[in-house]
Amino acid sequence: MPLLQTDLKRAVEDAAAHLYVWALKDIPQDLRDALAAARDRETSVTGKRVLETIHRNVSVADEDKNLVCQDTGIAVYHARVGEHFPLHPARIYEALRDGTARATIEHPLRSNAVHTITRENTGPNIGHRLPIVHWEFVTDSDELHLKCVPKGSGSENMSFLKMCVPADGVAGIKRFVLESIVDAGGKPCPPGIVGVGIGGSADYAMHLAKEAIMRPIGTRNPDPVVAQLEDELYELLNETGIGPMGLGGDVTVLQCHVEHADTHMTLNPVAVNYQCWAARRASAHIGADGEIAYERDA
Amino acid sequence: MTHELTFPVTDPQEILKLRAGDEVVVQGHIIGIRDRTQIRIFDEGQQPPMNLAGALLLHTAPNVRKVGDRYEKICIGTTTSARMVRFTEPLGREYGVRAICG
């Protein structure tokens, strides 16, 4: 590779390594605000105690510059690549993989990656198709926007897909999301973010559900019809009484985000992906010249 | 109600007096355990490397740093216990585990 590309690749690797550790230690402000609001509005004694413990957990991590949770997750990145960004996505992927491995070794972080059948560890949070990258390509830009969302297993295990039929309508979508969250109970470390993906195909609906949990808390889908569904689901899920850590209470979810794709006239797919209360997320812009601007709350 | 217990416990009454919703402040030894270790014990027939009588188990796999030939803790927290619920009863019955935190 030419020298410029080598430097740029190194910048992407640096950003990935920094974002992974930063996300694990310093949760975004919107999440801090949502957790504080949850603690203030919770009326159950047990629920309030759980939310106060969560608050202490975050404070200890801040004071000791330590991890918010021991589950360092699978490293998931969202890469929005401008058409004029001078490093090919194949090289961006290498840089993300190398950055993930470097952060894991240097910090050190718990390495979670195993072969899915042999269960043997495959490396410092890297392996076949790990880390996971969601790609987006945009015109009229020479930047790379990179977001790291470490995804813990407790919440990822609470993922659900249903191929509703068109006759099920929006009511069917709401019913399935509600049933999923009731089934999940305390397992995904509530209260967190419920990501819902609707439309597209089976695999794409789940992809969208993951995109939904990556958004800053309480942002709304630009399509008003989908935004209305977000509001309705948020209200509905908080009526379940599951509460913080599933021990009962008013606050079951911090938010519900919905992402959608248009779909076939005879399809109505619904996917649910849960993100725990420690909804870790950190972002950076990388310029064509390799300059990195970290962004805490994007 | 808040209780203080020191593990390992020797008197079963210390556990039997607890009621759902009580808070327990823990002293003494806590043993970390997770999926793989329990699969080894119950599905692959390997004995646990330590005595679990009266023990408190914490469902976790911590972050550690190697210092010389020892490991130093970085971050320890709980994972989802419900995933391992089929091991709960045999841990109590066969090995005398008296509490699990998750």
pLDDT, tens digit, for every residue of B12-65? 899 999 999 899 999 999 999 999 999 999 999 999 999 999 999 999 989 999
Min distance B83 CA to chain A CA atoms (Å): 8
Q: Do A70 and B77 touch (CB under 8 A)?
A: yes
- Long-range (24+ apart) CB contacts under 8 A made by A48-52 are A48/A249, A49/B23, A50/A243, A50/A244, A50/A245, A50/A247, A50/A249, A51/A244, A51/A251
Q: Does B62 touch chain A (CB under 8 A)?
A: yes
Min distance A154 CA to chain B CA atoms (Å): 6
Specify the pTM.
0.93
pLDDT tens digits for range A231-284: 999 999 999 999 999 999 999 999 999 999 999 999 999 999 999 999 999 999
Percent of chain A with pLDDT strictly greater than 70: 99
DSSP string, B15-51: HHT--TT-EEEEEE--EEE-HHHHHHHHTS-PPPSS-
Beta bridge partners of A292: A286
Q: Do B63 and A109 touch (CB under 8 A)?
A: yes
Is residue B57 a contact partner of residue B8, using CB atoms and an 8 Å limit? no
Residue A1: pLDDT band by 50, 70, 90 thresholds? Answer: low
Q: Which residues of A269-293 are buried (b: 16+ CB within 10 A; e: fewer)?
A: bbbbbbbbbbbbbbbbbbebebebe
Is residue A196 a contact partner of residue A258, using CB atoms and an 8 Å limit? yes
Beta-sheet strand order (sheet of A282-286) = A132-138, A74-82, A144-151, A282-286, A292-295
The pLDDT score that the predictor gives to residue A160 is: 98
Residue A143 Cα distances to A83, A147, A194, A217, angstroms:
8, 13, 30, 25
The pLDDT score that the predictor gives to residue A207 is: 98
* ipTM for the complex shown: 0.85
Is residue A142 a contact partner of residue A85, using CB atoms and an 8 Å limit? yes
Residue of chain A with shortest Cα separation from B20:
A247
Residue to mutate among A44, A70, A156, with most B CBs inside 10 A, is A70
Min distance A98 CA to chain B CA atoms (Å): 20
Helix (H) or strand (E) holding B89: helix B88-95
Identify which of A69, A108, A186 has the shortest CB distance to residue B77. Answer: A69
The pLDDT score that the predictor gives to residue A3 is: 64
Q: Do A71 and B80 touch (CB under 8 A)?
A: no
pLDDT tens digits for range A125-180: 999 999 999 999 999 999 999 999 999 999 999 999 999 999 999 999 999 999 99
